[in-house]
Amino acid sequence: EVQLVESGGGLVQPGGSLRVSCAASGFTFSNYGMHWVRQAPGKGLVWVSRIHRDGSSTDYADSVKGRFTISRDNAKNTLYLQMNSLRAEDTAVYYCARLTDSMILRKHVFDIWGQGTMVTVSS
Amino acid sequence: DIQMTQSPSSLSASVGDRVTFTCRASQDIGNSLAWYQQKPGKPPNLLLYAASRLESGVPSRFSGSGSGTDYTLTISSLQPEDFATYYCQQYYNTPPYTFGQGTKLQIK
């Protein structure tokens, strides 16, 4: 079964740090770009970050640039998001998502999502 | 960045109804549009991509259309399991990957 399972969420104080992880199974992890998408309570979906299949390039939303770092370990089939200098507005469910990319199909979409891990930034 | 705007923000309908959701991009996105369904407490689920192509396993009552800046998602005959929030997302110019704010479909 193709699956993504996030872990590592929790309560952290403003200015603190947290690392969330996403364990992949059921597919060849190293063949896919991977992303983090977050959703604040009662709000919509917001893209956070992406990493190339081999980890050679990364991108970030402006709201997290310089504070968050995405990485991956293809030997462990695991995606990470290191979050530093956390703010109250970072409070959200963090989803990891697989991007499937096919130029022939014009398909460049998030086709597999994890269940999410909740990060709460509060004193 | 490309902005995505969905309308309406919420919609009430009954089982068996035909419903249509609208998504407008701030610029031409050349059919590079996906639709997702999200139920409470669950992750999003991909429904369509390239504006009108149905993802494998998605019921045929879901369909998409549009071009340029304006796109629609239609459910031909609502089923009880369809009550959820629907998001559009553009992938014409990324990053960032931008989503609409969502349309919540509620039971009338």
**Is it the case that residue B14 has pLDDT exceeding 90?**
yes
Q: Which residues of B touch A45 (CB under 8 A)?
A: 36, 38, 44, 87, 89, 99, 102
pLDDT at A116: 98
Question: Residue A10 to residues A94, A100, A122: CA-CA distances in angstroms?
Answer: 11, 29, 10
> Which parts of chain A register pLDDT below 70?
none
Mean pLDDT of chain B: 97
Which residue, A107, A78, A90, is CA-closest to A39?
Answer: A90
Cis peptide preceding B44, ω within 30 of 0: no
pLDDT at A79: 98
CB contact under 8 A, A115 and B97: no
pLDDT at A63: 98
CA A78 – CA A71 distance, rounded (Å): 9
Q: Which residues of B touch A107 (CB under 8 A)?
A: 49-50, 53
pLDDT at B50: 97
CB contact under 8 A, B87 and A45: yes
Which residue, A65, A69, A88, is CA-closest to A13?
Answer: A88
Question: Residue A98 to residues A6, A53, A102, A122, B3: CA-CA distances in angstroms?
Answer: 13, 10, 13, 29, 22
Q: A67: which 2 tokens?
A: 């504070």
Q: Which residues of A76-96 are buried (b: 16+ CB within 10 A; e: fewer)?
A: ebbbbbebeebeeebbbbbbb
- Per-residue pLDDT tens digits for B28-37: 999 999 999 9
pLDDT at A62: 97
* Number of Cβ pairs < 8 A linking chain A and chain B: 65
- Per-residue pLDDT tens digits for B18-73: 999 999 999 999 999 999 999 999 999 999 999 999 999 999 999 999 999 999 99
CA B19 – CA B85 distance, rounded (Å): 13
Q: Which residues of B touch A111 (CB under 8 A)?
A: 46, 55
pLDDT at A105: 86
Burial of B71 (0-12, 13-18, 19+ CB in 10 A): buried
- Per-residue pLDDT tens digits for B89-105: 999 999 999 999 999 99
Q: Which residues of A touch B52 (CB under 8 A)?
A: none
Mean pLDDT, residues B5-21 taken together = 96
Which residue, B23, B26, B30, is CA-closest to B9?
Answer: B23
User: Any bridge partners for residue A22, and if so which?
Assistant: A6, A79
Picking from B53, B89, B96, the nearest residue to A61 by CB comes out as: B96
